[in-house]
Amino acid sequence: MPLLLQLALAVAVAVAMVGTATTTTTHTRFYMHDTVTASASGGGPAATAVRVVRGVAAAALPGDAVNRFGDLYAIDDPLTDGADAASSAAVGRARGFYMFSSRTDSALLFSATMEFTAGVHRGGAVSVLARDAILDEVRELPVVGGAGVLRGAAGYGLLRTHSFNATTNNAVLQIDLYLSV
């Protein structure tokens, strides 16, 4: 068999095998607890989001007395299976950062790896990187990769603000991940 014909056959077989590769699509919902201001009494949760860079005063955001363009927060937020952190099981941690990246609205650059320590995705992690327009009802976060039992994951997350306290800047976010692994 001529070499060119063998090569063409090998490519055809490889393409056919890629087309039959099995992937699993999964949906998971969890809650991220972003605590910027810890309880003054010490009885509440410790801060899990810390501002590490402060934008200049001239870059105040419209309608936001707390945050400025350029503010950068490092996060190590707990992930739970329910909205109430006290009565919900821990499923992991979200570690990364968010930065106020718009001069004109409350939009963040959000980058985090969500590491799962319990549940069906235990031992796995996914990373997201996206613009998060925090005042929108639903925001979409592309999954840029996975590790462990979620190695090679692709997909997206839908992020919703479950609760927000404008005085403390604390928030609980509902995250629905749709993954192909």
Quote the CA–CA distance of 93 and 75 in Å, as a whole number.
9
Rounded average pLDDT over 90-113: 95
pTM, to two decimals: 0.84
pLDDT tens string 99-108: 999 998 889 9
Quote the CA–CA distance of 112 and 109 in Å, as a whole number.
10
What are the chain's domains?
A: 20-178 (2.40.480.10)
Quote the CA–CA distance of 89 and 118 in Å, as a whole number.
9
Rounded average pLDDT over 30-49: 84
Task: Please report, for the chain, how many H helices and E strands are present, in that order.
Answer: 1, 9
% of the chain with per-residue pLDDT over 70? 85
